[in-house]
Amino acid sequence: MVDTGPQVDFAEALTEVRLAHVRKSSVVWLIKRRPEVALALFSGLAERSRRSEEVVAHLLPREVSSRLAILLLNLGEKMGEEDETGAVTLNLRLPHRELASMIASTREAVSKAMSGFRREGLIDVKERKLVLLDRAALSERTDDDPRSNCSGRIKQSPVAYSPTPRSSTGDRR
Domain-located, residue 158:
yes
- Domain with 68, as residue range(s), is 64-143+150-162
Among residues 43, 54, 28, 7, which one has the least CA distance to residue 170?
A: 7
Q: Could you tell me what percentage of the chain is helix, strand and coil, using 3-state DSSP and rounding each to the nearest 5?
A: 45, 15, 40
The CATH number linked to 137 is 1.10.10.10
Number of domains observed in the structure of the chain? 1
Radius of gyration from C-alpha coordinates of the chain: 19
Global pTM value: 0.62
pLDDT of 150:
41
For 49-98, write each residue's pLDDT tens digit.
998 788 777 667 788 999 999 999 999 998 999 999 999 999 888 899 99
Q: Is the pLDDT of residue 35 over 90?
A: yes
